[in-house]
Homo-oligomer: A and B are copies of this chain.
């Protein structure tokens, strides 16, 4: 990896620097798709900077993929859905890559079982970077040479491809976190935590009227098919917590026996608690002797006190739901969440902060009479109590791209708002993330709500 020229400008995660200038580049929204494309591509490679080729081989759980695979698959997406279709002169970098790096698009080709990805020692990491360079060049040339409606379609797909790649940037970080945690030596991705966590602001409630609300995406710009069409939903009045649930609050739930009281749990959640032996969020560890908790992060293992006031994360829907029941509250529906979030700009502790871990919503930032909840964007994905289904009149994209979202609309729950490893330009108020209820390897946390 040391030879990849992209890395010369990379930001050091090991030191106190931040993603600042990349981030500002993205925030400035460079005018053209070409510049945006280049920035996204560069970002992926910067994320690999602390990693060795060996690190990028590891696939440590069913949900995860090796980092090297992410780097190849994101490239495959542009090759398959843009270059092969719009550039008659384009020759695939390697005819095997066409099926080798297909994830799950049955309409495109046969593809290897997910678990085999850990065996892809060949192609080498170097050849994956060569692959990236060839595709990058070809995409940029295509953008430059195309015109008219074809250019429009190409740009549309480039933007889809960038959003696709941003999802994999996030996965790359969640996957390497799990990989490093699985390794008994617990390697560290970034440097030590930068700040002592301040005290989180006291929990308040923000009220919202009931009535018909427009839900889903209808404006200009990019959104996934699953955010459309905009439609009406009827809401009852509700109140939303002013911030995400903190580790301290969650520890109270644990200390009151939360993991041992079946009445707090969904039946399937209770089964998971028994079968998996859950006693705390993923990555929490209790010292057998002292009883003290510590937490594994992308910046190494830290003592509980260092993150006590930060949002709890790596909890499953089952845990979020049980916590809410214990607290006498509930989780929001996605329509409730969206209603609150559309009043706000997208900002918060997102990937560009370079923090790599959720931060406390501290007292300073919280004007006591603030009319809006904080931390809706960034820090942790917030489990909603809404199962993931298509909106009324939902239409998947035509062709193979229709497999992107629609076929997963079963037995998953919606999460909203992005996390500390979500790129800022990737998320918005209407954005719908989704995972099965037992999922814990994501930066997933809790926002409480209550009916009024």
Contact = CB atoms under 8 A, between A and B. Distances in A.
Nearest to A111: B184
Interface string A56-100: 111110000000100000000000000000000000000010011
A284 interface: no
Contacts of A185: 96, 100, 120, 122-123
Nearest to A96: B185
Nearest to A261: B106
Interface of A: 52-60, 68, 96, 99-100, 104, 106-107, 112, 116, 118-125, 179, 182-185, 187, 212, 231-234, 236, 262-263, 265-270, 317-318, 321, 385-387, 389, 392-393, 402-403, 407-411, 437, 451
Contact of A60 (B119, B317, B387): B119
Contacts of A125: 54
Given A236-B392, A268-B410, 13 more contacts: A52-B122, A54-B54, A54-B124, A55-B121, A58-B121, A100-B185, A118-B118, A122-B187, A263-B402, A266-B408, A393-B451, A411-B411, A411-B437
Contacts of A317: 410
Contact of A266 (B232, B262, B270, B409): B409
A94 to B, nearest CB: 9
Contacts of A184: 96, 99-100, 112, 116
Given A106-B262, A183-B119, A57 B54 contact: yes
A262 B184 CA distance: 22
Given A53-B53, A100-B185, A266-B409, A179 B121 contact: yes
A403 B270 CA distance: 12
Given A121-B57, A184-B100, A265 B232 contact: no
Contact of A232 (B57, B234, B392): B234
25 contacts: A52-B53, A54-B68, A56-B121, A57-B58, A57-B121, A58-B118, A60-B118, A96-B185, A104-B267, A116-B182, A120-B183, A121-B183, A121-B187, A122-B183, A122-B187, A212-B212, A212-B234, A236-B393, A266-B407, A268-B408, A269-B410, A270-B407, A387-B389, A393-B451, A411-B437
A179 B124 contact: no
Copies in the complex: 4
Contacts of A118: 58-60, 118
A392 B451 contact: yes
Contacts of A107: 262-263
A249 to B, nearest CB: 23
A303 B68 CA distance: 33
Contacts of A437: 410-411
A64 B423 CA distance: 39
Contact of A53 (B54, B266, B389): B54
Contact of A121 (B54, B119, B231): B54
Residue in A118, A386, A403 whose Cβ sees the most chain B Cβ within 10 Å: A118
Contacts of A96: 184-185
Contacts of A387: 387, 389
Contacts of A53: 52-54
Q: Which 6 A-B pairs have the closest CB atoms?
A: A387-B387, A54-B121, A106-B262, A55-B121, A57-B57, A119-B182
A239 B402 CA distance: 25
Nearest to A330: B390
Contacts of A60: 118-119
B411 A55 contact: no
Nearest to A266: B410
A266 B411 CA distance: 10
Contact of A55 (B122, B265, B410): B122
A55 B99 CA distance: 21
Central interface residue in A122, A232, A233, by most chain B CB within 10 Å: A122
A118 B106 CA distance: 29
A448 B268 CA distance: 30
A407 B234 contact: no
B236 A234 contact: no
**A124, A318, A402, A410: most-surrounded residue (chain B CB, <10 A):** A410
Contacts of A56: 121
A263 B107 CA distance: 7
Contacts of A99: 184
